Amino acid sequence: MTQQTNALGQLLDTPLPDWKAPPLPQRETLAGRWCSLEPLDPDRHAQQLYEANALDAEGRNWTYLPYGPYDSFDSYRAWVESIVDLATQRAVGVASFMRIDPRQGSIEVGGLNFSPLLQQRPAATEAMFLMMRHAFALGYRRYEWKCNALNAPSRTAALRLGFSFEGVFRQATVVKGRNRDTAWYSVIDREWPALEQAFTRWLAPDNFDAQGRQRLRLAELTTAALKASAAG
């Protein structure tokens, strides 16, 4: 694509003549092979989530989150979306669409808290895939992931899922009485077709052996997908 300039010789951004603001996500179930994402129903999910999070006896999951830990069940019932493991039909984690800006076509996945019953399992990856696919299907052009810059597992997860690192916002917020530097990551719409193929290939039944061990690593697939989309 030839870079456009105005009459003054100044470079111009890429025109978007067909751009239309996407709709807001609705409260609906996103179903996959390994998991189902359901709008939070406190009567159905809260107790299961509270019990699943209690398996994190050290409270390690809460360190970098702006909320929690919760010292009672009654104080826990306040989240947006649950991830239900189809093997057990129990709610095992939460995730949210947030900072939704249809005018700019930008949406963030956040508020993630995966209990020990969900961590490092295919359902966790599929949950992120389902949310990302849904956002781009609605017409969003930018999908964001932000985390505490000290949260190494979250930063590793973002890269594995195909997000690109954009930098650290220093002293971005104050969380639980402490400074937080925030690391920013994103996937944009032109990268999504190749990334969707990478996720689909990784989630395919034949990518797992009889013991449920992966044959291909998702990080390798998403890295190759990003290179292919950049080259194209």
Sorted by where each starts, the structural domains of the chain and their CATH numbers stand as 30-231 (3.40.630.30)
DSSP label at residue 45: I
More confident residue, 75 or 128: 128
pLDDT at 86 over 90: no
Residue pair 216/202 in contact by the 8 Å Cβ criterion: yes
Cα separations in angstroms, 38 against 97, 102, 112, 230: 12, 22, 14, 34
Euclidean distance between CA atoms 121 and 153, whole angstroms: 15
Residue pair 100/25 in contact by the 8 Å Cβ criterion: yes
Euclidean distance between CA atoms 113 and 204, whole angstroms: 25
Average pLDDT of every residue of the chain: 93
DSSP label at residue 3: P
pLDDT at 85 over 90: no
Instruction: Name the percent of the chain lying above pLDDT 70.
Output: 97
Residue pair 107/97 in contact by the 8 Å Cβ criterion: yes
pTM, entire model = 0.92
Instruction: Name the percent of the chain lying above pLDDT 90.
Output: 81
Beta carbons within 8 Å of 228's beta carbon, 6+ residues apart: 194
3-state SS of 58-127?
Answer: CCHHHCCCCCCCCCCCCCCCCCCEEEEECCCCEEEEEEEEEEEECCCCEEEEEEEEECCCCCCCHHHHHH
Euclidean distance between CA atoms 29 and 16, whole angstroms: 31
Query: Which residue, among 46, 54, 141, has the nearest Cα to 84 in the 3D structure?
Result: 46
Cα separations in angstroms, 65 against 37, 121, 150: 21, 21, 11
pLDDT in tens, 141-176: 999 999 999 999 999 999 999 999 999 999 999 999
pLDDT in tens, 42-84: 888 889 999 999 999 999 999 999 888 888 888 887 544 567 7
pLDDT in tens, 167-207: 999 999 999 999 999 999 999 999 999 999 999 999 999 99
Task: Look at residue 35 and give its three-state secondary structure.
Answer: strand
Buried b (16+ CB within 10 A) or exposed e, 127-160: bbbbbbbbbbebebbbbbbbbbbebeebbebbbb
Q: Which two tokens stand for residue 134?
A: 């849904």
